[in-house]
Amino acid sequence: MYTENANRATHGELITPNNLEPDPKNPAIAAFFRNIGLADELGSGVRNLFKYGRRYSGQDPQLIDGDVFRIIVPLDDSYSFDAGSNKTQSKTPIKTSKSENEVLIEVLILSHLQENPKMTQKEMCDVTGKSKMAVQSAFTALQQKGLLRREGAKMNGIWVVESSKVVNTKS
């Protein structure tokens, strides 16, 4: 598995649990999850990647600090509990709770609207891959939470993300 994220590089080296200096790679997203109570302590994700990476693939992940932060998590079907048809464990998919799904959709919406405040709900469905109902529900929830408001006319207005409520700038 491979991911990339824009980054403010601190050392430009391979990150390991031994040289880890906790620093959020995307401070806005880290602050958002911290503010809504869904973030653990800073650096716990890296420690968990190494802990569970060894358990589920037999290898350590690679975390490469640079202008683009890269994470490479090796996957090995022989270590996976649900790989192969001859396994005795259930192949029941892991279910994410409704509230976790809602939070993820809300984060996606806020992120996209900060980049393009004129985006419509239909366009949001297209870029997020979420259903019309899920997007409408998330927009309503964000407005009720005071994180999002509409300015201007229905056709020519813009969405305003209340960033002071999303990101705690004093932390």
Tens-digit pLDDT profile for residues 38-55: 777 777 777 888 888 777
Long-range contacts of 69-75 (CB under 8 A, 24+ apart): 69/4, 69/5, 69/6, 69/7, 69/9, 69/25, 70/2, 70/3, 70/4, 71/1, 71/2, 71/3, 72/1, 72/2, 73/1, 73/2, 73/49, 75/1
Topology of domain 98-166, CATH: Arc Repressor Mutant, subunit A (1.10.10)
Of 60 and 57, the structure prediction assigns the larger pLDDT to 60
Of 169 and 41, the structure prediction assigns the larger pLDDT to 41
Is residue 117 over pLDDT 70?
Answer: yes
Supply the pLDDT for residue 171. 39
| Residue 1 pLDDT level (bands cut at 50, 70, 90) | confident
Supply the pLDDT for residue 25. 67
Q: Are 166 and 149 in contact (CB under 8 A)?
A: no
Supply the pLDDT for residue 100. 67
Backbone angles phi, psi at 113, to 5 degrees: -70, -30
Supply the pLDDT for residue 164. 63
| Residue 118 pLDDT level (bands cut at 50, 70, 90) | very high
CATH 1.10.10.10 region(s) of the chain? 98-166
Residue 8 CA neighbour count, 13 Å, CB half? 7
